[in-house]
Amino acid sequence: MMWLISLIVVIVIVVISLFFYHQFRQALDERMLLQLSSIMHLKSLQIEDYVQTQLKQFDQLEPPLLSAFDDYQVNNLDSVCIGEIIGAEHTPKLYDLSWCSLNKSVLLGVVKHDEQGVRLHLLNHKTIQEILLERTGMGESGETYLVGADHTMRSLSRFFPDEHPLNLPAATDGVLQALSGRQGSGIIKDYREVPVYSAFRKLNIPGIDWVILSEIDVEEVTIPLSRMRNKLILISIAVCLMAIVLSLLVTNLLTRPLFRMRDLLRRMSLGKFDLVSTPYYQTVEIHEMFTALDELRKSINQAIQYSSEIGNMNLSAQYQLSGQHDELGKSLIRMKSQLAEYKRHEKTSHQVAKRSLITGQENERKRLAREMHDGLGPLLTSLKLTIQALDLDSIQRKKVNGLIDHTIAEIRRVTYDLMPPALLDFGVGRAMLHFVEMIRKSSELEIRYDDSTKESGSAISPEMNICLFRVCQELLHNAIKHSGATRVALSITEFDEKVSLYYSDNGRGFDTDKPGSGSGLKNIEERIAVFDGYMHIASSDNGTTVEIELPIL
Amino acid sequence: MTSINIAIVDDHQLFRDGIHSLLAANDQYRVVISASNGTEFFESLASGVKPDIVLLDLTMPEMDGFEVMQKLKTAYPHIKTIALSMHDDGNYITKSVRSGAYGYLLKNTDEDELLSAIQSVYRGRKYFNQEITGKMINNLSAESETKKLSIKEKEILKMISEGLITKEIADQLFISTRTVETHRVNIMKKLNAKNTAEMIKKAVLTGLLE
């Protein structure tokens, strides 16, 4: 990704560089050619002017007759050659006599036939040469030169100053175009086969088919261009390097955290939420992203912890909703309340079942007690009365009466064990008075009993009375049978909202944690649980205390 | 010598018959009513029969012995009641006495005791044998104490007045602080005190701490 961006940056830079290079080059070309054209025009006008002037001034110059031009040798002229070239005009006419020069110098001659013969005036080629050599604005390699119709030079070459112009062929594109009459400019190869900017035209001199060219080496002109090109290459390289560095930097700042984020998310999707805490990232957005991830992790961890608490049936666990759209949290909370509901329901139904079991048992006992008390009792008393009416001697009567009294006492005892009639008629507080009295008579145990139930308007239900009585029964039974206690304190206190039972003895005590430390204790616990009561047993070598509280509904 | 008119109210026919035949053997006694419950008994009374003494069972269907005694107190105050019950529980004895019984006999009582009870009551004296009296006193004593403060509450009140803190009281009585607090609240309620200071003040004024 980052490399792609780097590549794009490089491509853009290269394209822009090429474009500017091209634009610059084009501008340079146009400007150069324009300059060359104007130089060429200037020079050709000067040359033409000079030639025209020479032509006009022909008569005033009084040129010598060709025949009198005896001394050809002086002028290094081939008279035969000249004779072949010149025509018979009576007006002055220009001729290129270069090829008639014996020392191969460039020669322009004006010829006129008059009554005296042919007159010849040789133009000073040095003047033309000077015009051409004037090189203002031509740089190091610029030159302006002339070429004849035979494609050889008609002026000195700057590059070959010792070479005779006529020996230098110059059949270049520019020369050919100019000879064919077109004036123009362009980048071409010159007579040295070197690429040059060239402006060219044919000189406007009648009788002379010469072309003038102003040229300058491409190489010289494009030195700044190539400098610029080098600079552009350098810049491109610099930019590329920067792009690489930048992409590394970006990788560090963006990609690495993103990869890390990806790994973390992958771990999370596998169910691993024990992530290490987020390192600090320089980039604000990335840091915020990790902070958000951390929050997500915390929220999920909380949910996990909460679920596990619920799984362990710890229904007192609390859950902090992450927001109003925290559906997971809401579901978990719903789940918890459902579980709590089920649990409560289970407890309630368990209590109801237990209670109905106990109630059934107690009802059966009650029924049995009543049958014995109200059924057997009167029968026995009636029997006693009947016997009294019989004619028996006093010893026999006493014996039989004694037996019957004993039987009745036994029935009372059994009845009492099953269900004391006073329990239902007077409540547990009062019933215990009699029960304690019975124990006092039958054992050595010193019992201190305190009844603080309400004498009138007691809110203790019959079931609760039975429950409390059975608990007392069990506790006192234990005290006598197992504890070895000599003193017992027992109190039942009724408040508006609860009944509390307090028991203490000075016996041996027992291990409250040990299971099966008396089924009696378990029995008590179950009975208390039915009424949702509170029970606390503390037992040591010095004795046992039992606290029980039953809420009054 | 006028005979003593006796009513027997008991839901057991056999028992009634037994008593009846027992009393019939003696000219001094005349059984004028034999009813199986309170309602029946009052119907007989309404018809004009006037017993001196009623031998009354306590546990009966329709109308039980206590109700009968309550009603007799206002409607027929001159009829004296001897409760004749299977219950040897002091609570029944106390309640019977409170309801206006002149005597309390267990059903398996001897003939002699029954007759002497009838005689005593007929002469306007109350009859309770030693055993019954013992049970009654025991029951009443417990009752009188609970009306005010229980033994433990008095004990705790005394300890509070002596400046003991809840923890110390709990340790001394082998009870939890929770129970001590409950008792303290209970004492304050009974003495109608709003706070501990007022509770102590009232306790001193009523001589509870002596």
DSSP characters over A429-454: HHHHHHHHHHHHHHSS-EEEEEEES-
CA distances to A224, A338, A343 from A334, rounded to whole Å, are: 82, 6, 14
* pTM summary value: 0.55
Nearest to B93 by CA among B110, B76, B81: B81
- Taking only the tens place, the pLDDT of each residue in A401-448 is 888 889 888 888 888 888 888 888 888 988 898 888 888 888 888 888
Q: For A454-474, what is each residue's pLDDT tens digit?
A: 777 788 888 899 999 999 988
Give the residue from A376, A383, A385, A448 with the most B CB atoms within 10 Å of its CB, the best one to mutate.
Answer: A385
d(CA A7, CA A513): 80
Distance from CA of A305 to the nearest CA of B (A): 36
The confidence score (pLDDT) of residue B88 equals 86
Q: What are phi and psi of B186, to 5 degrees?
A: -60, -45
Helix, strand, or coil here: B18?
Answer: helix
- How confident is the model over A306-364, as pLDDT tens digits? 888 888 887 777 887 777 888 888 888 888 888 889 988 988 888 888 888 888 888 89
Scan residues 440-479 of A and list those with Cβ closer than 8 Å to B.
448-453, 455
Collapsed DSSP state (helix, strand, coil) of residue A490: strand
pLDDT of residue A537: 86
CB A400 within 8 A of CB A408: no
Q: Given an 8 Å threshold on Cβ–Cβ distance, is A491 in contact with B152?
A: yes
Query: Which has the closest alpha carbon to A29: A201, A197, A258?
Result: A197
Residue numbers in A near B59 (CB within 8 A): 373-374, 421
pLDDT of res. B146: 42
Beta partners for residue B56, in sequence order: B9, B83
For residue range A464-505, list pLDDT tens digits in order. 999 999 999 889 988 888 888 898 888 888 877 888 888 888
Could you tell me if B172 lies within 8 Å of chain A, comparing CB atoms? no
Q: Which domains does chain B have, with CATH numbers?
A: 4-143 (3.40.50.2300), 148-205 (1.10.10.10)
A500 within 8 A of B182, measured Cβ to Cβ:
yes
Q: Does A401 touch chain B (CB under 8 A)?
A: yes
Residue B95 touches partner A, C-beta closer than 8 Å? yes
Question: B76 — contact with chain A (CB < 8 Å)?
Answer: no
CB-based contact A235:A267 (threshold 8 Å): no
Mean pLDDT of A247-274: 79
The DSSP string of B45-90 is HHTT---SEEEE-SS-SSS-HHHHHHHHHHH-TTSEEEEEES---H
The pLDDT, as a whole number, for residue B8 is: 94
* CA–CA dist A86, A78 (Å, integer): 13
- Specify which residues A200 forms β-bridges with: A184, A213
Strand A195-202 and strand A211-217: pairing? antiparallel
Q: What is the pLDDT of residues B23-82, one digit of tens each?
A: 888 888 999 999 998 999 999 999 988 899 999 999 888 888 999 999 998 899 899 999
Provide the pLDDT for residue A67: 67
Domain ranges (residues) in chain A: 2-221, 225-311, 339-419, 422-553
Q: Which residues of B touch A489 (CB under 8 A)?
A: 152, 174
CA distance B48 to chain A (A): 29
Q: Is B142 on the interface with A (CB under 8 A)?
A: yes
Structural contact between residues B83 and B56, judged by C-beta atoms closer than 8 angstroms: yes
Residue A12 to residue B123: CA distance in whole angstroms = 139
Separation between Cα atoms, residue A69 and residue A82, nearest integer Å: 12
**pLDDT of res. B81:** 93
Flag if B18 and A384 touch (Cβ within 8 Å).
yes
| B90 contact A CB<8A | yes
Judged against a pLDDT cut of 80, whether residue A506 lies above it is answered with yes
Residue with the two structure tokens 């010792």:
A162
Burial tier of A514 (Cβ tally within 10 Å: 0-12, 13-18, 19+): exposed
Full strand arrangement of the beta sheet holding A195-202: A143-147, A211-217, A195-202, A184-189
A and B: number of Cβ contacts within 8 A: 124
> Band of the pLDDT at A207, cuts 50, 70, 90?
confident
Of A412, A452, A543, the CB nearest to B88: A412
* A451–B146 C-beta distance less than 8 A: yes
Contact list, A378 vs chain B (CB under 8 Å): 10, 12, 14-15, 86, 107
- Chain A residues lying within 8 Å of B190, measured CB to CB: none
Contact check, Cβ <8 Å, B59/A536? no
- Binned at pLDDT 50, 70 and 90, residue A71 comes out as low
Residue type, A223: I
CATH of A2-221, picked from 3.30.9.10, 3.30.450.20, 1.20.120.80, 2.40.10.120, is: 3.30.450.20
In angstroms, the CA A297 to CA A284 distance is 20
Distance from CA of B98 to the nearest CA of A (A): 14
CA dist., res. A112 & res. A508, Å (int): 170
Q: Is residue A488 within 8 Å of A446, Cβ to Cβ?
A: yes
Whether residue A73 is predicted with pLDDT greater than 70 in this model: the reply is no
pLDDT over threshold 90, residue A244:
no
Report the complex ipTM.
0.71
- The burial class, CB within 10 Å (0-12 / 13-18 / 19+), for A501 is buried
In chain A, residues 493-522 whose CB comes closer than 8 Å to chain B: 493, 495, 500, 502, 504
Positions in chain B whose pLDDT score sits under 50:
145-147
pLDDT of A284 strictly over 70? yes
CATH of A422-553, one of 3.30.565.10, 3.40.50.620, 3.30.70.1230, 3.90.79.10: 3.30.565.10
B28 CA: distance to closest CA in chain A (Å): 17
Distance CA A143, CA A309 (A): 101
What pLDDT sits at residue B104? 94
Can you tell me the distance from the alpha carbon of A204 to that of B103, in angstroms, rounded to the nearest whole number? Answer: 177
User: Which pLDDT value is given to residue A519?
Assistant: 61
Q: How many CA atoms lie within 13 A of B178 on its CB side?
A: 11
Task: Note whether B144 contacts A: Cβ–Cβ < 8 A.
Answer: no
Separation between Cα atoms, residue A343 and residue A523, nearest integer Å: 23
For residue A514, the distance in angstroms to the closest alpha carbon of chain B comes to: 22
